[in-house]
Amino acid sequence: APAPRAKGAYRDHALVLLGCSTGGPRTLDEVIPRLPGDLPAPVVVALHIPETFTAALAERLNAASRLRVVELANCTELLPGTVYIARGDADVVVSTRSGSLQGVSVTRDPRLTWHPSVERLVRSALDALPAKQLVAVQLTGMGDDGAAAMCALRASGGRTIAESEETATVYGMPRALIEGGGAEFTLPSHRIADAINRVVRERRWA
Protein backbone atom coordinates (compact mmCIF):
# COMPACT_ATOMS: atom_id res chain seq x y z
CA ALA A 1 0.00 0.00 0.00
CA PRO A 2 1.30 3.50 -0.72
CA ALA A 3 2.59 5.40 2.30
CA PRO A 4 -0.07 7.84 3.51
CA ARG A 5 0.78 11.49 3.17
CA ALA A 6 1.22 13.41 6.39
CA LYS A 7 1.00 17.12 7.31
CA GLY A 8 -2.35 18.44 6.20
CA ALA A 9 -3.31 15.39 4.14
CA TYR A 10 -6.19 14.86 6.59
CA ARG A 11 -8.11 17.45 4.57
CA ASP A 12 -8.28 14.86 1.78
CA HIS A 13 -9.94 12.01 3.66
CA ALA A 14 -12.51 10.99 6.22
CA LEU A 15 -12.00 10.19 9.89
CA VAL A 16 -13.91 7.23 11.34
CA LEU A 17 -14.94 7.25 15.02
CA LEU A 18 -16.18 4.08 16.74
CA GLY A 19 -17.83 4.01 20.15
CA CYS A 20 -18.60 0.84 22.12
CA SER A 21 -18.93 -0.55 25.63
CA THR A 22 -20.30 -3.85 26.95
CA GLY A 23 -19.74 -6.52 24.31
CA GLY A 24 -17.39 -4.19 22.44
CA PRO A 25 -14.34 -6.46 22.07
CA ARG A 26 -16.40 -9.21 20.43
CA THR A 27 -18.09 -6.69 18.12
CA LEU A 28 -14.75 -5.12 17.17
CA ASP A 29 -13.69 -8.67 16.19
CA GLU A 30 -16.63 -8.60 13.76
CA VAL A 31 -15.91 -5.14 12.36
CA ILE A 32 -12.16 -4.32 12.30
CA PRO A 33 -10.85 -7.45 10.49
CA ARG A 34 -13.46 -6.91 7.75
CA LEU A 35 -12.15 -3.45 6.89
CA PRO A 36 -9.93 -3.33 3.77
CA GLY A 37 -6.21 -2.74 4.14
CA ASP A 38 -6.38 0.31 1.87
CA LEU A 39 -9.14 2.10 3.80
CA PRO A 40 -8.42 5.78 3.06
CA ALA A 41 -9.17 6.99 6.58
CA PRO A 42 -7.84 6.63 10.13
CA VAL A 43 -10.15 4.89 12.62
CA VAL A 44 -10.28 5.90 16.31
CA VAL A 45 -12.01 3.56 18.77
CA ALA A 46 -13.30 4.61 22.20
CA LEU A 47 -14.18 1.44 24.10
CA HIS A 48 -15.15 1.49 27.78
CA ILE A 49 -12.49 -0.88 29.10
CA PRO A 50 -9.75 -0.82 31.79
CA GLU A 51 -6.33 0.33 30.58
CA THR A 52 -4.78 -3.08 31.29
CA PHE A 53 -6.73 -4.56 28.37
CA THR A 54 -6.34 -2.08 25.52
CA ALA A 55 -2.79 -2.93 24.42
CA ALA A 56 -3.60 -6.66 24.26
CA LEU A 57 -6.83 -5.95 22.39
CA ALA A 58 -4.97 -3.84 19.83
CA GLU A 59 -2.35 -6.57 19.41
CA ARG A 60 -5.00 -9.24 18.87
CA LEU A 61 -6.95 -7.14 16.36
CA ASN A 62 -3.73 -6.22 14.56
CA ALA A 63 -2.94 -9.91 14.05
CA ALA A 64 -6.42 -10.54 12.62
CA SER A 65 -6.75 -7.44 10.43
CA ARG A 66 -5.50 -6.05 7.16
CA LEU A 67 -5.30 -2.61 8.75
CA ARG A 68 -2.61 -1.77 11.30
CA VAL A 69 -4.14 -1.68 14.81
CA VAL A 70 -2.35 0.10 17.67
CA GLU A 71 -3.08 1.40 21.14
CA LEU A 72 -3.28 5.18 21.32
CA ALA A 73 -1.50 5.94 24.56
CA ASN A 74 -0.13 9.47 24.12
CA CYS A 75 -0.16 11.93 21.20
CA THR A 76 -0.13 10.29 17.77
CA GLU A 77 -0.58 11.49 14.20
CA LEU A 78 -3.72 9.87 12.79
CA LEU A 79 -2.95 8.28 9.42
CA PRO A 80 -5.12 6.36 6.95
CA GLY A 81 -4.84 2.59 7.08
CA THR A 82 -4.51 2.52 10.87
CA VAL A 83 -6.95 1.80 13.70
CA TYR A 84 -6.20 3.52 17.01
CA ILE A 85 -7.64 1.93 20.17
CA ALA A 86 -7.89 4.60 22.88
CA ARG A 87 -6.07 3.63 26.07
CA GLY A 88 -8.51 2.56 28.76
CA ASP A 89 -9.13 4.75 31.84
CA ALA A 90 -8.26 7.89 29.86
CA ASP A 91 -10.11 9.95 27.26
CA VAL A 92 -9.06 10.55 23.67
CA VAL A 93 -9.51 13.77 21.72
CA VAL A 94 -8.84 14.76 18.12
CA SER A 95 -6.99 17.94 17.26
CA THR A 96 -5.15 19.57 14.38
CA ARG A 97 -1.67 20.43 15.61
CA SER A 98 1.27 21.60 13.51
CA GLY A 99 -0.75 21.02 10.36
CA SER A 100 -1.43 17.35 11.05
CA LEU A 101 -4.37 15.44 12.53
CA GLN A 102 -3.58 14.16 16.01
CA GLY A 103 -5.19 11.75 18.42
CA VAL A 104 -4.31 12.71 21.98
CA SER A 105 -4.76 10.58 25.09
CA VAL A 106 -5.84 12.94 27.87
CA THR A 107 -6.81 12.68 31.53
CA ARG A 108 -10.41 11.60 31.77
CA ASP A 109 -13.01 14.27 32.42
CA PRO A 110 -14.55 13.52 35.85
CA ARG A 111 -17.84 15.10 34.77
CA LEU A 112 -18.34 12.24 32.33
CA THR A 113 -19.49 8.78 33.42
CA TRP A 114 -17.78 6.51 30.90
CA HIS A 115 -14.15 6.36 29.74
CA PRO A 116 -12.70 6.58 27.21
CA SER A 117 -15.60 8.96 26.52
CA VAL A 118 -17.27 8.52 23.13
CA GLU A 119 -19.05 11.86 23.61
CA ARG A 120 -15.76 13.71 24.19
CA LEU A 121 -14.08 12.00 21.23
CA VAL A 122 -16.85 12.91 18.79
CA ARG A 123 -17.21 16.49 20.09
CA SER A 124 -13.46 17.03 19.73
CA ALA A 125 -13.55 15.71 16.17
CA LEU A 126 -16.41 18.10 15.35
CA ASP A 127 -14.28 20.94 16.71
CA ALA A 128 -11.26 19.84 14.65
CA LEU A 129 -12.80 18.93 11.29
CA PRO A 130 -15.83 19.73 9.12
CA ALA A 131 -18.67 17.33 9.91
CA LYS A 132 -18.71 16.12 6.29
CA GLN A 133 -15.32 14.46 6.89
CA LEU A 134 -16.57 12.46 9.88
CA VAL A 135 -18.08 8.98 10.01
CA ALA A 136 -19.30 7.96 13.47
CA VAL A 137 -20.28 4.41 14.40
CA GLN A 138 -22.17 3.47 17.56
CA LEU A 139 -21.73 -0.17 18.57
CA THR A 140 -22.99 -2.27 21.46
CA GLY A 141 -23.00 -0.84 24.99
CA MET A 142 -25.13 0.18 27.94
CA GLY A 143 -26.10 3.81 28.46
CA ASP A 144 -26.01 6.56 25.86
CA ASP A 145 -22.37 7.72 25.70
CA GLY A 146 -21.75 9.44 22.36
CA ALA A 147 -25.36 9.54 21.17
CA ALA A 148 -25.85 13.30 21.60
CA ALA A 149 -22.56 14.13 19.86
CA MET A 150 -23.29 11.73 16.99
CA CYS A 151 -26.76 13.24 16.55
CA ALA A 152 -25.09 16.68 16.31
CA LEU A 153 -22.57 15.28 13.83
CA ARG A 154 -25.33 13.86 11.64
CA ALA A 155 -27.32 17.11 11.79
CA SER A 156 -24.20 18.98 10.63
CA GLY A 157 -23.69 16.76 7.57
CA GLY A 158 -21.60 13.90 8.94
CA ARG A 159 -22.36 10.22 8.41
CA THR A 160 -23.49 7.83 11.16
CA ILE A 161 -24.00 4.10 11.59
CA ALA A 162 -25.70 2.32 14.50
CA GLU A 163 -25.45 -1.38 15.28
CA SER A 164 -28.86 -3.02 15.05
CA GLU A 165 -30.58 -4.70 17.97
CA GLU A 166 -30.24 -8.15 16.39
CA THR A 167 -26.46 -8.28 16.98
CA ALA A 168 -25.86 -5.78 19.81
CA THR A 169 -24.91 -7.49 23.08
CA VAL A 170 -26.41 -4.48 24.86
CA TYR A 171 -28.62 -2.22 22.75
CA GLY A 172 -28.39 0.92 24.91
CA MET A 173 -25.83 3.02 23.03
CA PRO A 174 -27.06 2.27 19.49
CA ARG A 175 -30.68 2.67 20.57
CA ALA A 176 -29.97 6.13 22.02
CA LEU A 177 -28.52 7.22 18.68
CA ILE A 178 -31.40 5.74 16.69
CA GLU A 179 -34.11 7.16 18.97
CA GLY A 180 -32.40 10.56 18.84
CA GLY A 181 -32.81 10.54 15.08
CA GLY A 182 -29.06 10.48 14.52
CA ALA A 183 -28.54 7.12 12.80
CA GLU A 184 -28.22 7.31 9.02
CA PHE A 185 -27.76 3.53 8.79
CA THR A 186 -28.78 0.76 11.22
CA LEU A 187 -26.96 -2.48 10.47
CA PRO A 188 -25.95 -5.80 12.07
CA SER A 189 -22.32 -5.96 13.14
CA HIS A 190 -21.18 -8.14 10.24
CA ARG A 191 -22.36 -5.52 7.70
CA ILE A 192 -20.85 -2.46 9.39
CA ALA A 193 -17.34 -2.73 7.91
CA ASP A 194 -18.70 -2.71 4.36
CA ALA A 195 -20.83 0.33 5.19
CA ILE A 196 -17.84 2.19 6.67
CA ASN A 197 -15.77 1.41 3.58
CA ARG A 198 -18.55 2.51 1.22
CA VAL A 199 -19.29 5.78 3.06
CA VAL A 200 -15.60 6.70 3.37
CA ARG A 201 -15.11 6.24 -0.38
CA GLU A 202 -18.33 7.96 -1.45
CA ARG A 203 -17.02 11.49 -1.19
CA ARG A 204 -13.99 13.38 -2.41
CA TRP A 205 -12.83 15.20 0.68
CA ALA A 206 -10.41 17.68 -0.86
Q: Give catalytic residues, as residue numbers.
A: 21, 48, 145
Is 131:153 a contact under the CB 8 Å cutoff?
A: yes
Strand partners, 136: 17, 160
DSSP E strands in the chain: the ranges are 15-20, 43-47, 68-72, 75-77, 82-86, 91-97, 100-106, 134-138, 159-163, 185-187
Angle between helices 147-155 and 172-179 (to 10 degrees): 40
How many residues would you count in the chain? 206
Rounded Cα–Cα distance for residues 14 and 133 (Å) = 5
